[in-house]
Amino acid sequence: MRIVLVAEAAQEFEDAVAWYEEQQSGLGRRLRDEIDLHLRWISVNPDMPRLRPGGYRRVNLRVFPYYLAYIVHNAQIWVLAVAHTYRKPEY
């Protein structure tokens, strides 16, 4: 399935990568790699995470405190948010 990041999610993604890279060289790259890994997993298993109230699904990252919120619509996966679990737990 094709994955599309909405503009807000793409900006959150880039902001998070930049912030971690400022904290430590290479850490932003590790976040990018982890998000890419989870996006590939979602593309193969889009219906595996439970459907949440509001009609979206969510996958938590393993290392970084972020999650990917998405919906499946018209054979595409729309990533709605790359959200920090502590700053925006109910985002």
**pTM exceeds 0.75 for this model:** yes
Mean pLDDT over all residues of the chain? 94
Name the β-bridge partners of 79: 5, 70
Q: Are residues 54 and 71 in contact, defined by beta-carbon separation less than 8 angstroms?
A: no
Architecture of domain 2-84: 2-Layer Sandwich (3.30)
pLDDT digits (tens, 9 = 90+) for 53-90: 999 999 999 999 999 999 999 999 999 999 998 876 56
Q: Are residues 90 and 69 in contact, defined by beta-carbon separation less than 8 angstroms?
A: no
d(CA 69, CA 58) in angstroms, rounded, equals 4
